[in-house]
Amino acid sequence: MTDPENRRPLASRQSAWAGRLATKAVQRGITPNQISQASVGFAAIGLAPTC
């Protein structure tokens, strides 16, 4: 993982809900790449009705 000092500061990184969600994702073995793939999938689903 990247060094936290080199990351762009985001307020959401300090929120309790984001920490709990990240912990649960790690416990389930979800990778950052899987999160990205899911977002592309949801974007495609959202785009489908406009085609």
For residue 34, pLDDT over 70 is answered with yes
Which pLDDT belongs to residue 24? Answer: 96
Q: Which helix (H) or strand (E) holds 44?
A: helix 32-47
Q: Hey, where are the domains in the chain?
A: 4-50
**Model confidence over 38-51: pLDDT tens digits?**
999 999 999 988 87
Q: What is the pTM of this model?
A: 0.62
pLDDT band at 27 (very low <50, low <70, confident <90, very high): very high
The radius of gyration of the chain's CA atoms, rounded to the nearest angstrom, is: 14
How many alpha carbons fall within 13 Å on the CB side of residue 18?
6
Query: With bands split at pLDDT 50, 70 and 90, how would you rate the model's confidence at 4?
Result: low
